[in-house]
Amino acid sequence: MSSFVKMQHYVPRFYLGGFSSKGVINCYDITNSRKFPASVENIACEKGFYEIYKHPKNETERRLAGIERNCSKVIYKLIESEDLGSLKKQERIVLNYYVVIQELRTRGMREELRNILAQLKSALVERGLREGEKLYDEIKDRQNEEYYKWWQQSMFVDAPEFTRMLSSLRCVLVQNESEMVFWTSDNPVTRYNPVDLRPFGNLGLLSRGIQVYFPLTPRLSLLYYDPTSYAKLPENWKITDVENVKYHNSIQLLSSTRFLLSIDTDFAMADDYLRENPDIRDTEKRFRLTVK
């Protein structure tokens, strides 16, 4: 009998469970504002998401399951203690490694890679590259799901280096004591940077002004930030103002591939935001990058 895992999660079930009630999580589809409950078994997953032709079946799924087993212990410890200081140095590294892997493994990351290649081809065509030329054909041959899967999974090799970069940022455990809960999404590790660094990009982990958000539960979220650009925050930072929570949730909305996820059924803020900014519903536009 085949051991092929048909539905493969790019956001782990153990993580989604923290935003669910008895295994049911509330979902909001940003493409059409549809709201619906779903089992954590059936959201943030796709059939054969990691499977590559002629590669061993379930190879990547098994690797990620091993990472989840090791890292979930640290995450559960942090959630229970609500104290970043409760983690030992090695546990902090494990936590940061998990955050890196979570960012790399999603559908959102794959869409970013897809658009990098598409924009690269468009930029080269504008500079005179023509169909039939070797470089054009090489890029075209790579514009398929199998290549994007391989490219995405090859980035896992660089996870230790990305972890080192993430660890150079200051980390804060944000404790939400407001009346609104934190949302998560199908692309839960999000980057934001208010500093304009043009003509360069500003979302690198070593970019001046970078911020990285990762909600852990409806009441807890990790925040990593550039220590050279912002005043030092308490390691465990309590927030009571709902506007701070709306800010966190708006970043999840902007970074989600398609679904916002919450223990709560109230997505009124998302309705309002999308009514005022309807272009955000177009996932392809939001993930499109400009290559100069």
Task: Give me the residues paired with residue 35 across strands.
Answer: 28
- Predicted confidence (pLDDT) per residue in 100-155, tens digit: 999 999 999 999 898 888 889 888 998 998 888 999 888 888 899 899 999 999 99
- Whether 289 shows a pLDDT value over 60: the answer reads no
Residue-wise pLDDT for 210-226, tens only, equals 999 999 999 999 999 99
Is the pLDDT score of 267 beyond 60?
A: yes
- CB-neighbour burial class of residue 255 (10 A; exposed 0-12, middle 13-18, buried 19+): buried
Place of tokens 């589809």: 29
Q: Which of 6-10, 28-32, 238-242 has the lowest mean pLDDT?
A: 6-10
Question: Once rounded to an integer, what is the mean pLDDT over residues 48-71?
Answer: 88
Task: Tell me whether residue 35 is exposed, middle or buried, using C-beta atoms within 10 angstroms of its C-beta: 0 to 12, 13 to 18, 19 or more.
Answer: middle
Two structure tokens written together for 170? 């200051």
* Whether the predicted pLDDT of 30 surpasses 60: yes
Is the entire prediction scored with pTM above 0.85? yes
Confidence of residue 93 (pLDDT cuts 50, 70, 90): very high
